[in-house]
Amino acid sequence: MAVNLVMYIMNKIKLLFFATIRDRAGVKSLELDIPAEMTVKDLKDKLSTDYPGLKDSMKSVLVAINHEYAFDEAIVPQDAEIGMFPPVSGG
């Protein structure tokens, strides 16, 4: 009897929270293992589920991957540093 083994490749990332998002998270950073090929949108959905205090923030959060702003469809690369910022307004 043959057994199919499915390998899940995980990606270790570091999340950095800023301003009000840091307050809601209760920490300034987290290290997470996420599935390879996870998008920014998938990551925001995961954080909304795993950390309910962040759910409202994930609707309007600005995300930077390795110091470059990223959109929801961007794939999170291996060993990425992810910054999460509240929306910014100015005059």
| Residue-range domain boundaries for the chain | 19-85
pLDDT in tens, 35-60: 989 999 999 999 999 999 999 999 99
Long-range contacts of 39-45 (CB under 8 A, 24+ apart): 39/72, 39/73, 39/74, 39/75, 39/76, 40/65, 40/70, 40/71, 40/72, 40/73, 40/74, 40/76, 41/72, 41/73, 43/76, 43/82, 44/72
* pLDDT exceeds 90 at position 9: no
Residue percentage of the chain with pLDDT more than 70: 88
Residue of 50 and 3 predicted with greater confidence: 50
CATH H superfamily, domain 19-85? Beta-grasp domain (3.10.20.30)
- Is this prediction's pTM over 0.75? yes
Indicate if the pLDDT at residue 81 is higher than 80. yes
Q: In angstroms, rounded to a whole number, what is the distance separating the alpha carbons of residues 8 and 3?
A: 16
Confidence (pLDDT) at 44:
97
Q: For residue range 63-73, what is the model confidence (pLDDT) as tens digits?
A: 999 999 999 99
